[in-house]
Every structure is written in structure tokens, then in C-alpha cells.
Structure 1
């Protein structure tokens, strides 16, 4: 009798465990913004592609977990993660104001911080963020670099998206856009204004790691974090990570 009861409990537990795995595999979706070449999508109906998408998908796939990616406005992503409504996002930075509700994976990529300006503007004396105080500056509202300017009390304007911020420098007499290198170069090329604008590194700013960011309040958040970190280690050791990056970032 006892054996039969134990067997029944075991089968019930196995069913719950399998259901949990199935739930994770079917419903593990990360929400992102358009951030080329790391994340790329024309609209919400488009397939999301990009170097960080491929890296994240490969990392989870190496652990036999499927993941999906969908577009969502950044402010809504953050609010949804604070409430545990979504698993998280990718290509986001680790900042103190996020640590209360986010878990951060090992690095999936990194960005160099730069300023975008008119070609004729003298940017040779820009080495630190404090040097930006000598110019009129714009950054993308709510993004990590805009929050950095805010924290340092560096006066700046905000734009709703990266394309608008670049246009502010080109057409609205704003001196500088503070931004990540590859997304800035991508949009400058897409807008067809490479001859008008230049990109200058902020040399004293360290390269910024980007992560898979997981809501602490999402079911099995710690397990998701462990899974992606084990997957990242696997694809880095196998060479798959560098192969993916070379497909997008030949210069690296």
C-alpha cells in the first residue's frame, strides 16, 4: 500500500516537473527595443534579429531551451519587469537602480561609448563625461546613457528614440549625441548622413558590458539565470559565440 502511494506521488511530482519545463520552454519570451546591430526589428510584426539575439538564442538552445523575442517600448519593459509580468530583456546594462528587480547574466556583448557630432565640430578635447558640459547634448530618454548623464547632473536634452536623437544633431543645432558606438553608426548609415556626422570615443569611459536581464519576480528567475550562464559558457568554449559575432561585427 505504501509503495503504491509513493509511486502515485512520484508520478504526480514528475508530471508537475514536466509541466514546469514545458511552461518554461513554451513561454520564455524576452522583450526588446530596436538597438542595431544587437537587436533589430522594423516593427512589432517583424522577426527580431541581431547579434545579441543570436547569442542569447544559441546559449539557451545549448541547454535545450527555446526562447522567443518580441518588441516592446523600453519604459513598458522596465515596468513589466518590476511587476514580474515578463521574463526580461536582453542587451541591457547593470545599473544600481535596476538591481532591486533584475538579475544580470554574464556578458553577452559590450558597447563603446561615443559622441556623435557634425564633422566640423572640434571634439579632440572630449575624454570624460564631464567634458560634455561644454556642449549642448542629447541622449535617448530612459536609456542607460541618458540616466548616466542625469546622475552626473550633466545638462542635456532627451529624444524619444535614437533616430530622432541623431536628427537633432544633424538638423537642430545640438552639438553632441551621447550614445553607444555600433547603434549610432548603424543609424547614421541608414539615414544616409555619413558625410555629415562623425563618431568620437569618450576615451576615459570603460567599455560597457551588456547582459540578459531577468526579472527577479518572474517564476524560476534563478533557474533562467543559471541556464543562460551555462549556455553562454558552452558557446564561448565551443567557438560559436565568436562565430556569431563575426557574422555581424566583422571589424571585431
Structure 2
């Protein structure tokens, strides 16, 4: 009897502590990479994009205010999370190193597949990685896809690891490349703002799938909402909401850059 009584007391205390933690979380301060459209990017002192739209939607459902702030370059964003200066980091790759200071969602926030981009008139069918062997390809400096594709790209396709996106685009436009490996959604955002970018299209099939998660800082009282966030991520991923937000924010990113360029042009003319 005493054992059951003690178990009931422990359960009540756990429930009380959980409710208390939830009550402490009135506002979530979030951040992300400042230049990773359409997932997220910087506009002034704020972070905007699909990641913000998705998480704000979820946390509004439970009455928690959600603010996405610019915290500096990507390394600084991670440092502020490690120091518990922010509550939440949006849409990033889950790694063992980051798990040391972030409590990640079990389910992904968004898909993040990689594919080959090519000129629309040079588009080709891709069924397997070996279809790329006879073609001239490139990748962007520092991009990693996970094993075994990393090894295949470097050892079989022998793609260099020091080419910038700008150099790759120039060579693609001059028919010196057949394809560029890039993130499907990030590539559409990047190519959507360059001159002639409308001629660069992704292949129908991805080279490799991928996903990105989100994580609470270990010291954040708002981590009490992790279970709810997990459930909603699964639902919003499954019903297509996450992918629709990516498509909407590709258009938003392109419009944002066109406004910036127009403003810069007006300033130049006035001067």
C-alpha cells in the first residue's frame, strides 16, 4: 500500500513540475542560420521564412508567444543556444555534437533533399547515382550530404570541393557543366534571384533524401513543449503543410530580393 502511495505522490509531483514549467514558458526566443532560404533568412533584426511560419503556427496553438531573432552568424547562433541565451534553434541537421546542448525533435520539421540542377534545355533522367558518371558536374564548397553519397561524390564522380555557387552557375550557363548538386528547396531559392536563373531547374528525382529538425536549448523551460511539438511536426509534415510553406517562402524570398535590388537601384540613381 505504501509503495502505491509513494508512486502516486511521485506522479503528482511530476505532473505539478511539468505544469509549472509550462507556466514558466510564456515566450520562446528562437533563432536560425541567417542565410538559408527558403527555410529561414535575416530581414533586419528578425529571422523569417518557412521555419518561422511553421513553429509560430504550432506554438500559437498552445498560447505561447514565438519570436525569431537575428543572433549573428551561424556559429554564434549555436553558441548562444549552448549558453542558453536563446530557447530554440530552428531547422538544422541533427548531429551528436549538437545533441550535447540541444534537445532535438524526434520528427523532422522539413524535408531537405539534394538533387541535380541543370539548364532546362539540358535536363536528363536520373534513376541512379551512376547516371551522373558520364556527365560534367560540380558541387558547392563545403556541402556535405552524409555517407555514402559524400564518398561517391568525391571518389567516383571526383567533384572538387572548392567551387563557389557563383562559379558553378557561370560554368553551367556556358555549358561547361551539365549539373550542379544542390539542396532542392535552397537551390530553387538561390537560382530564383540571379539573372537567367529561370533557366536552371531541378531534376524530377532527388539524388538523396534528407531532413532537418529543431531543438530546444537544454536550459530552456520551454522544452516542456517538446512532446507537443513532435506530434505537430509529424502531422504537419504528413499533410503537406511543411512542403507548402517551403514553396510559399521561395516566392517570398525572391520578392524580398527584388525589393532590395530595386531599393539599391533607387538609392544609386539619387546619388
> Distance between the aligned counterparts of 1:132 and 1:31, measured in 2?
36
Q: Deviations over 1:120-173 (max 9, x none)?
A: 6675467339957974523264x65489865667253357xxxx62x2222256
Map 1:133-148; keep pairs closer than 5 Å: 135-139=136-140, 141=142, 145=145
How many matched pairs? 221
* Structure-to-structure mapping, 1:60-209, within 5 angstroms: 60-71=59-70, 72-105=72-105, 106-119=107-120, 124=125, 127-128=128-129, 131=132, 135-139=136-140, 141=142, 145=145, 154=154, 155-158=159-162, 165=165, 167-172=166-171, 175=177, 176-200=179-203, 203-206=206-209, 208-209=210-211
Q: Structure 2 regions of 5+ residues with no counterpart? A: 1-15, 249-271
Contact 2:30 2:87 in 1 (8 A): yes
Which one is further off, 116-125 or 105-114? 116-125
Distance across 2 between alignment mates of 1:129 and 1:85: 46
SS of equivalent residue, structure 1 residue 211: strand
Distance 1:100 1:242, change over 3 A: same
CA RMSD, Structure 1 to Structure 2 (Å): 4.1
Aligned twin of 2:247: 249
Question: Partners of 2:225 and 2:213 in 1: how far apart?
Answer: 13
Equivalent runs, 1:2-81 vs 2, <5 Å: 17=20, 21-22=23-24, 24-26=25-27, 28-41=29-42, 43-45=43-45, 47-71=46-70, 72-81=72-81
Change (3 A) 1:146 1:214: same
Secondary structure of residue in 2 paired with 1:191: coil
1:188 Cα offset (Å): 1.2
Normalised TM-score (structure 2)? 0.61
* Structure 1 residue runs without a partner (length 5+): 1-12
Q: Are the counterparts in 1 of residues 31 and 77 from structure 2 also a CA contact under 8 Å?
A: no
TM, length-normalised to structure 1: 0.65
Closer/same/farther in 2, CA of residues 120 and 246 from structure 1, 3 Å limit = closer
Cα pair 2:89 2:216 within 8 Å, conserved: yes
